[in-house]
Amino acid sequence: MKPFFQSADRGSWPALLCATESEVAPEILYGPSKRANTAGPVIGYRPAEHALNTEAPARLWTISEERTGLTWSP
């Protein structure tokens, strides 16, 4: 898969950057910038607005619990 993805060392760079840099911004995704965001230098970009929506996933969770009869709490 090497032609399609980057090495584990390079793949871990965005996580290391976010854990150690003081200038990372909230609500910004950091990841590779080339080949459909699977390789290349790390860039920061704002996700689509629906990705920041907190109401939709909460509603989906509630519906899932209701329909499966299962609940989970930390």
Q: What would the DSSP string read from start to end of the chain?
A: -TTTS--HHHHTHHHHHHHH-TTPPTT-EEEEEETTTTEEEEEEEPPPGGGG-SHHHHHHHHHHHHHH------
Residue 14 domain-assigned (yes or no): yes
Query: What domain range includes position 24?
Result: 8-68
Residue 1 domain-assigned (yes or no): no
Q: Is the pLDDT of residue 55 over 90?
A: yes
pLDDT for the residue 3:
66
Residue 74 domain-assigned (yes or no): no
Residue 23 domain-assigned (yes or no): yes
Residue 33 domain-assigned (yes or no): yes
Give the chain's domain count.
1
Note the pTM of the prediction, 2 decimals. 0.62
| pLDDT digit string, tens, across residues 12-37 | 989 999 999 999 998 899 999 988 88
Residue 50 domain-assigned (yes or no): yes
Residue 73 domain-assigned (yes or no): no
Residue 2 domain-assigned (yes or no): no
